[in-house]
Structure 1
Amino acid sequence: MASVAQTARSAEVEITFESRAEAGLVPANFSSALTGQGRPPAWRLGKDRDDAGETPTVAETSGDETDYRFPLLIYQPLEARDGEVTVVFKPVAGRVDRAAGIAFRLRDERNYYVVRANALEGNVRLYRVVNGQRHQFAGRDVAVASGRWQELTVRATGNRFEVLLNGAALFQATDTTFSGGGRVALWTKSDSLTHFRKLTIRTDR
């Protein structure tokens, strides 16, 4: 089972993917979905192995090279409007794309915001997805390393958003498309093989 720590004062949920019993399966409290075309997502628990040892992870493993294909792994127990979401990720492989993202204020697989980092393109971008169509409304060119653990963060307060990479502020933006609450999800694109090791959701009360 994915481990969850929650405190009433901070309304913070920290999710890691460390249960051997679930190896190869979708983690508990999550559901899989897809925006766009291509094969259904194949989210799997596994291990990242490097010089530091083994790290429990979850990844979308299908390798489907369909370009307009966005797998989602949706955290079901919580809905939020304002707060902060951080994901720790490592881009591992991908010929068409090598991306990691956070979907938030997610109503369904066709309507949400997403911030994503792309190691092949060297940028971080913020989109709204409306009826399954992406529309970029902010972004910045910045190095996103392959084969290295990094942190992507989005802060949402009303119609204002702030995006950080590895703790450094990248840009701010405003948008009013999705003003209510919604779920949070891990997000990738096309054939991206991206390892995710931790998801932290902090909601403002």
Structure 2
Amino acid sequence: MTKLVLGALIGGLASTGRAETVTFDADPVGAPPPGWTSGSTGGGNPRWTVEADPTAPGRSNVLRQSGSAPFPWCVKQGALLVDGIVEVKFKPLSGREDQAGGVVWRWKDGDNYYVARANALENNVSLYYTAGGRRRTLKYVDAPVAGNAWHTLRAEFKGTRIRVLLDGKPYIEVDDSHIAGTGAVGVWTKADSVTAFDDFTYQPGP
């Protein structure tokens, strides 16, 4: 599903101001995570499942994308933010075309959202906005992204200001106004990336 009505994602956590973290440890292995909606911008065959992983930064499970699609995404239902932060631990496992892990915010539907991503094949961090199903680059920055290793990717956003950090180090800080207002948050990959995600954290801003 690439088109959703944003109102269907509204939940009680959107305006609490508390940081919420999803570990996937209580979710059934081999199935999509309950309370999440997934798809891909541009079609294809994404596959989002909860899997056991002894290397998980949390306890035992991760969310893994193992399908192939232009831009797979998976967003948390009931998590709507205008301003705030979204952060995830990710591990790029394999991929010939890409080995990417990303976070999305102000997600309106599968064709309109912001995304920050890190890529282990290219060793860089980048920021995009997707509008009308087309991804547009805002900035690329070289950064070390080791494959088969856990990293922390974080986006902070308030008004038009966006800041992107990898492993605690800021790499991108820009102003952009293409995607405004309330939207969902989630995770993202690209092409044939097989990527694991854990400890997904989001927090509404003031």
| Cα distance in 2 between the residues matched to 1:12 and 1:52 | 18
Contact 1:114-1:128 at 8 Å conserved across structures? yes
Contact 1:45-1:56 at 8 Å conserved across structures? yes
Tell me if 1:55 matches 2:97. Answer: no
How many angstroms does 1:51 deviate by?
10
Q: How does 1:93-104 map to 2 (within 5 A)?
A: 93-104=94-105
Contact 1:162-1:169 at 8 Å conserved across structures? yes
Give 1:43's aligned residue.
48
Contact 1:11-1:204 at 8 Å conserved across structures? no
| Cα distance in 1 between the residues matched to 2:59 and 2:76 | 24
Supply the AA of the counterpart residue of 1:142: A
CA shift in 2, pair 1:73/1:9, >3 Å: closer
How many angstroms does 1:156 deviate by?
0.1
Identity of aligned residues (%): 35
CA shift in 2, pair 1:134/1:33, >3 Å: same
Greater strand content? 1
| Cα distance in 2 between the residues matched to 1:50 and 1:183 | 28
Contact 1:55-1:197 at 8 Å conserved across structures? no
Give 2:28's aligned residue.
22
Give 1:78's aligned residue.
79
Contact 2:56-2:62 at 8 Å conserved across structures? no
| Cα distance in 2 between the residues matched to 1:9 and 1:27 | 23
Contact 1:12-1:200 at 8 Å conserved across structures? yes
| Cα distance in 1 between the residues matched to 2:189 and 2:58 | 25
| Cα distance in 2 between the residues matched to 1:161 and 1:141 | 18
Tell me if 1:142 matches 2:143. Answer: yes
| Cα distance in 1 between the residues matched to 2:203 and 2:145 | 24
What per-residue deviation string (whole Å, max 9, x for no partner) do you get for residues 6-37 of structure 1? 7x874211111112x61111111101111013
Contact 1:47-1:54 at 8 Å conserved across structures? no
CA shift in 2, pair 1:45/1:36, >3 Å: same
TM-score normalised to structure 2 length: 0.88
CA shift in 2, pair 1:54/1:84, >3 Å: closer
TM-score normalised to structure 1 length: 0.88
User: Which of the residues 1, 5, 12 maps onto 2:19?
Assistant: 12
SS of 1:196 mapped into structure 2: strand
| Cα distance in 1 between the residues matched to 2:56 and 2:204 | 35
Tell me if 1:180 matches 2:187. Answer: no
| Cα distance in 2 between the residues matched to 1:47 and 1:16 | 12
Cα-Cα RMSD: 2.0
Contact 2:58-2:198 at 8 Å conserved across structures? no
How many angstroms does 1:146 deviate by?
0.6
Structure 1 runs not aligned, ≥5 long: 1-5
Structure 2 runs not aligned, ≥5 long: 1-12
Aligned residues: 193
| Cα distance in 2 between the residues matched to 1:204 and 1:52 | 25
SS of 2:33 mapped into structure 1: coil
Give 2:197's aligned residue.
196
Give 1:3's aligned residue.
none
